[in-house]
Structure 1
Amino acid sequence: MNRIFSILVIITVPLAIIGSFLEWPSIVMFVLCSLSIIALSSFMGRATESLAIVSGPRIGGLLNATFGNAVELIISVFALQAGLVGVVLASLTGSVLGNLLLVGGLSFFLGGIKFKRQKFSVHDASHNSGLLIFAVVVAFVIPEIFSMTMTDRETIQLSAGISIIMILLYLAGLIFKLVTHRGVYTHSDADVEEVREEPEWTKPKAIIILFAATLVVAFISENLVHTFEEVGEQFGWSELFIGVIVVAIVGNAAEHASALMMAMKNKMDVAVEIAIGSTLQVAMFVAPVLVLLSLFMPVQMPLVFTIPELVAMITAVFLTINATNDGESNWFEGLTLLAAYLIMGIGFYLL
């Protein structure tokens, strides 16, 4: 699999760069840019896996989520500059659904087929459950309800205030998990397994690959954004579908690949941390940062989602909480999450 992604990088990245200068057709650029980002994301996933072995599951999962979400953040910034606010909000929805239902579901399903019963930290699951409820059910619903009786300017002000609070709480959560309570709720057997495994790349090499891949992805992402409108018209895709499904899957390819690899190795602490940790980072950091950045752009982005988006995200949150609160997973729970994702995908396609 790694060889396939390496070949993809060698072929698609140069073609995507050449095509951007020669102004190739949008559909060709869309395919090339998407394949390039997915292939580069595999390198980001391998690099963060190496760092996870050295640093432990929590920091490794956080690094994977951060660099994986960096791809989506870059794509979203270019989309905001192009005035595609609907695509950006939809991509944030897609990230929440994709990480919780698609990544989490596939991790539980594939890992559960190989190992009948997989365990992870119930304390981390409980902590993440509370944050998921706050980030999606509280911080996303409040702007929607209050905006009904507010002007556009007041809605933007409310969104900016909520964004600042969410960023501060997210940073406080990192301090709680990585500093003040680091190691308090750690599985000792998981730690032993991490120490015995040798990383694929050294720490400096992994960091260099992460930064290099992120820079290339930033360039290619700008070209990908410019293809959305024309490709959407050709295939009959709405902005909502492009954001929820296409941008979310391409933008989060790094986490998708890494979480599945970890689940297949029975490293569910890392897999769950990637799936849920990435969701929390999107909801509590990426989305607020985009709201604040939009204040300096021609078109501001309020933290107001459509009713279908909100219902889908809230449903995904409670399904995930129900599947993870006991600290164990199996293939049937994974299949349930995947079924929910497919149902929502059909709904968003038909909207």
Structure 2
Amino acid sequence: MNRIFTLLAFIGVPMIIIGSVMDWPDIPIFIISCISIIALAGFIGRATESLAIVSGPRIGGFLNATFGNAVELIISFFTLKAGLIGIVLASLTGSVLGNLLLVLGVSFFAGGIKFKTQKFGIHDARYNSGLLIFAVIVAFVIPEIFTQTMDQVDTVTLSIGISIILITLYLAGLFFKLVTHRGVFSSADTNKEEEEIPEWSKGKAIIILLLSTIAVAYVSEQLVHTFETLGEKFGWSELFIGVIIVAIVGNAAEHFSAITMAMKNRMDVAVEIAVGSTLQVAMFVAPILVLLSLMMPQSMPLVFTIPELVAMITATFLVINLSNDGESNWFEGLTLLAAYVIIGIGFYLL
């Protein structure tokens, strides 16, 4: 698999450069861009896995989520720059749904097939549950309710205030989890990293992360230019493109890494990647995009559609209910996947 990712990356990126220079049609550019981003995400996943072995599950999972979301942030930035605010908001929704239902679902399922029951930190589960409720239900639902009677200026002002609070709380949460209460979040995987040898050294892994992120930035810009043609060609709405297509491509790094960790029975890292990435999207990536949009011709309010909100709330409560006991199995994974498919069909037909 690693050789395939390497081959696809080294072929795909040059083809994108050639295609952009020679003005190839949008559909081939879209296909090659998606394949290239997924291949580059494989490099990001391997590099962060090496760092996870060196740094431990907490730092490793955080780094994986961060660099995985760097892909999402880059794609969203260029989409925002193109004025496609609907796709940006939909891709944020898709990231939340993809990480909670698809990534965590496949991780639970794949790991559960190999191991009857898998355990992860119950303190992590409870910590994640509280922040998920705050980020999705408080920070996302409140703007939708209050902006019903607001004009555009007040809506953007409210979004800015909420964004600053979200970023502040997210950073405070990291300080709480990684510094002041580090000992509380003990890991069932503590000794497992010591038994493994990282694929790459710390320095090499960091260099590969940076180079992969730069390559993703270029390919993402080319990908964004194909969205309008894609919608017209296949009759897909901006909502479906954002929630399903962009989210799956943007979260490829998390998909690859979380499933790999689950298959190795390192569920603390897998859960940290999937749920930690969700929290980072909701509490850091989305607010950052709101603030960045202030420098662009059209500001982006933190206001989602009713279907998006209902889908995210449903996913949040389902994950909390299944993960609060600190254990997982293949059937719980299948339940999460079934929910993702149902929501995906709904967005396709919407």
TM normalised by structure 1 equals 0.99
User: Is 1:234 aligned with 2:233?
Assistant: yes
User: Is 1:285 aligned with 2:284?
Assistant: yes
Instruction: For residue 183 of structure 1, report the CA deviation from its aligned partner.
Output: 2.6
Q: Distance in 2 between matches of 1:125 and 1:21?
A: 48
Over the residues paired in the alignment, what is the CA RMSD in angstroms?
A: 0.6
Q: Which amino acid aligns with 1:32?
A: I
Greater mean alpha carbon deviation, residues 2-11 or residues 250-259: 2-11
- How is 1:57-68 mapped onto 2 (pairs within 5 angstroms)? 57-68=57-68
Q: Distance in 1 between matches of 2:95 and 2:235?
A: 22
Q: Distance in 2 between matches of 1:9 and 1:78?
A: 21
Q: What does residue 219 of structure 1 align with?
A: 218
Instruction: For residue 184 of structure 1, report the CA deviation from its aligned partner.
Output: 2.4
Native 8 Å contact 2:123 2:184 kept in 1:
no
Q: Distance in 2 between matches of 1:148 and 1:231?
A: 32
Q: Which amino acid aligns with 2:61?
A: G
Q: Distance in 2 between matches of 1:217 and 1:166?
A: 26
Instruction: For residue 138 of structure 1, report the CA deviation from its aligned partner.
Output: 0.4
Instruction: For residue 181 of structure 1, report the CA deviation from its aligned partner.
Output: 1.1
User: Is 1:334 aligned with 2:333?
Assistant: yes
Native 8 Å contact 2:177 2:185 kept in 1:
no
Q: Distance in 1 between matches of 2:220 and 2:183?
A: 38
Native 8 Å contact 2:322 2:332 kept in 1:
yes
Instruction: For residue 288 of structure 1, report the CA deviation from its aligned partner.
Output: 0.2
Q: Distance in 2 between matches of 1:23 and 1:319?
A: 45
Q: What does residue 38 of structure 1 align with?
A: 38
Q: Distance in 2 between matches of 1:147 and 1:138?
A: 14
- How is 1:191-206 mapped onto 2 (pairs within 5 angstroms)? 191-206=190-205
Q: Distance in 2 between matches of 1:201 and 1:323?
A: 35
Q: Which amino acid aligns with 1:183?
A: G
Q: Distance in 2 between matches of 1:30 and 1:72?
A: 16
- How is 1:180-329 mapped onto 2 (pairs within 5 angstroms)? 180-187=180-187, 189-329=188-328
Instruction: For residue 185 of structure 1, report the CA deviation from its aligned partner.
Output: 2.8
Q: What does residue 142 of structure 1 align with?
A: 142
Q: Distance in 2 between matches of 1:218 and 1:192?
A: 36
SS of 2:298's equivalent in the other structure is coil
SS of 1:191's equivalent in the other structure is coil
SS of 1:43's equivalent in the other structure is helix
Greater mean alpha carbon deviation, residues 280-289 or residues 190-199: 190-199
- How is 1:16-27 mapped onto 2 (pairs within 5 angstroms)? 16-27=16-27
Deviation by residue 1:94-132 (Cα, 9 ceiling, x = unmatched): 000000000000000000000000000000000000000
Q: Which amino acid aligns with 1:315?
A: T
Q: Which amino acid aligns with 1:173?
A: G
Q: What does residue 79 of structure 2 align with?
A: 79
Q: Distance in 2 between matches of 1:292 and 1:77?
A: 11
Q: Distance in 2 between matches of 1:306 and 1:190?
A: 39
SS of 1:190's equivalent in the other structure is coil
Deviation by residue 1:184-216 (Cα, 9 ceiling, x = unmatched): 2313x5211111111000000000000000001
Consecutive unaligned residues in structure 1, runs of 5 or more: none
Q: Distance in 2 between matches of 1:293 and 1:210?
A: 24
Q: What does residue 345 of structure 1 align with?
A: 344
Instruction: For residue 7 of structure 1, report the CA deviation from its aligned partner.
Output: 1.2
Deviation by residue 1:274-302 (Cα, 9 ceiling, x = unmatched): 00000000000000000011011001100
Q: Distance in 1 between matches of 2:230 and 2:158?
A: 34
- What percent identity do the matched residue pairs reach? 75
Q: Distance in 2 between matches of 1:55 and 1:288?
A: 28
TM normalised by structure 2 equals 0.99
Native 8 Å contact 2:156 2:300 kept in 1:
yes
User: Is 1:174 aligned with 2:174?
Assistant: yes
Consecutive unaligned residues in structure 2, runs of 5 or more: none
Structure 1 segments (4+ residues) deviating >6 Å: none
